[in-house]
Structure 1
Amino acid sequence: MKLKPMIVAGIMSGTSADGIDVAVVQIAPARGRPNLTLLVHRGFRYPPALRRAVLTAMNAKSTTTAELAKLNWRLGIAYAEAVKATIKQHKIKIDLVGCHGQTLYHQARPASYADKSFACTWQAGEAAIIAAETGVPVVSNFRTADMANGGQGAPLVPLLDYVMFSDPRRNRVLQNIGGIANLTALPAGAYSDKIVAFDTGPGNMVIDALALKLFNKNYDRNGTTAAKGQILVPVLKEMLRDRYFALKPPRTTGREQFGREYAASFLAACRRHSRKPEDALATATALTAETIARSFESFVLPTMRSKPIDYIVSGGGARNPTLMKMLEAKLGPLGCTLSTTEQFGMPAEAKEAAAFALMAWMTWHYLPGNVPSATGAKRPVILGQFSYA
Structure 2
Amino acid sequence: MSKAMVVAGVMSGTSADGVDVALCRIAPGAGDAPLRVKLIGHAAFGYPKALRAAVLAAMDARAMSVADMSRLNWRLGEVYADAVEAAAKQFGVKLGLVGCHGQTVYHQGAASRFLGSEVRCTWQIGEASVIAERLRVPVVSDFRPADLAASGQGAPLVPMLDYVMFRSATVSRVLQNLGGIANLTAIPAGASEESVMAFDTGPANMVIDGCMVRLFGRGYDRGGAVARRGRVIDAVVERVLRQKYFSALPPKSCGREEFGDTFVERFLAMCRKAGATDADVVATATTLTARSIVEAYERFVWGHLGQTAPLATRIEYVVAGGGAKNETLMQMLRDGLEPLGVKVRLMEELGIPAQAKEGVGFALLAWLSWFGLPGNIPSATGAKRAVVLGKVTRG
One fold, TM greater than 0.5?
yes
Corresponding residue for 2:118? 117
3-state SS, counterpart of residue 61 of structure 1: helix
Corresponding residue for 2:44? 43
- Distance (Å, rounded) in 1 between the aligned partners of 2:174 and 2:352: 15
3-state SS, counterpart of residue 237 of structure 1: helix
**Residue ranges of structure 2 left out of the alignment (5+ in a row):** none
- What does residue range 1-389 of structure 1 map to in structure 2 within 5 Å? 4-31=3-30, 32=32, 33-304=34-305, 305-306=310-311, 307-389=313-395
Indicate if the aligned counterparts of 2:4 and 2:27 stay in contact, CA closer than 8 A. yes
3-state SS, counterpart of residue 300 of structure 1: helix
Indicate if the aligned counterparts of 1:27 and 1:37 stay in contact, CA closer than 8 A. yes
- Distance (Å, rounded) in 1 between the aligned partners of 2:60 and 2:269: 21
- Distance (Å, rounded) in 2 between the aligned partners of 1:81 and 1:349: 19
- Distance (Å, rounded) in 1 between the aligned partners of 2:248 and 2:337: 20
CA-to-aligned-CA distance 1:38-83 (integer Å, 9 cap, x gap): 0000111000011000000103234211011011001101000000
Aligned partner letter, 1:20:
V
3-state SS, counterpart of residue 349 of structure 1: helix
- Distance (Å, rounded) in 2 between the aligned partners of 1:110 and 1:241: 22
Indicate if the aligned counterparts of 1:370 and 1:383 stay in contact, CA closer than 8 A. yes
Indicate if the aligned counterparts of 2:170 and 2:314 stay in contact, CA closer than 8 A. no
- Distance (Å, rounded) in 1 between the aligned partners of 2:356 and 2:60: 26
- Distance (Å, rounded) in 1 between the aligned partners of 2:383 and 2:91: 39
3-state SS, counterpart of residue 43 of structure 1: strand
Indicate if the aligned counterparts of 1:59 and 1:255 stay in contact, CA closer than 8 A. no
Indicate if the aligned counterparts of 1:26 and 1:37 stay in contact, CA closer than 8 A. yes
Indicate if the aligned counterparts of 2:57 and 2:63 stay in contact, CA closer than 8 A. no
Aligned partner letter, 2:67:
A
**Residue ranges of structure 1 left out of the alignment (5+ in a row):** none
- Distance (Å, rounded) in 2 between the aligned partners of 1:321 and 1:159: 28
Deviation for aligned residue 1:3: 6.3
- Distance (Å, rounded) in 1 between the aligned partners of 2:354 and 2:275: 34
3-state SS, counterpart of residue 83 of structure 2: helix
Indicate if the aligned counterparts of 1:196 and 1:374 stay in contact, CA closer than 8 A. yes
Normalised to the residue count of structure 1, the TM-score between the two structures is 0.98
Deviation for aligned residue 1:91: 1.2
CA-to-aligned-CA distance 1:292-342 (integer Å, 9 cap, x gap): 000011111012232431000000011110000000000001111001110
- Distance (Å, rounded) in 2 between the aligned partners of 1:364 and 1:59: 33
3-state SS, counterpart of residue 26 of structure 1: strand
Indicate if the aligned counterparts of 1:3 and 1:365 stay in contact, CA closer than 8 A. no
Provide the aligned C-alpha RMSD in A: 0.9
- Distance (Å, rounded) in 2 between the aligned partners of 1:196 and 1:116: 30
Deviation for aligned residue 1:138: 0.1
CA-to-aligned-CA distance 1:82-108 (integer Å, 9 cap, x gap): 000111122111100000000000011
- Distance (Å, rounded) in 2 between the aligned partners of 1:376 and 1:61: 30
Indicate if the aligned counterparts of 1:3 and 1:29 stay in contact, CA closer than 8 A. no
Following superposition, which runs of at least 4 residues in structure 1 exceed 4 angstroms of deviation? none
CA-to-aligned-CA distance 1:266-289 (integer Å, 9 cap, x gap): 010000112410000000000000
Aligned partner letter, 1:355:
G
| Count of residue pairs the alignment pairs up | 388
- Distance (Å, rounded) in 2 between the aligned partners of 1:59 and 1:48: 17
Aligned partner letter, 2:343:
T
Aligned partner letter, 1:29:
P
- Distance (Å, rounded) in 2 between the aligned partners of 1:237 and 1:252: 21
3-state SS, counterpart of residue 34 of structure 1: strand
Indicate if the aligned counterparts of 2:88 and 2:94 stay in contact, CA closer than 8 A. yes
Deviation for aligned residue 1:257: 0.5
3-state SS, counterpart of residue 201 of structure 1: strand
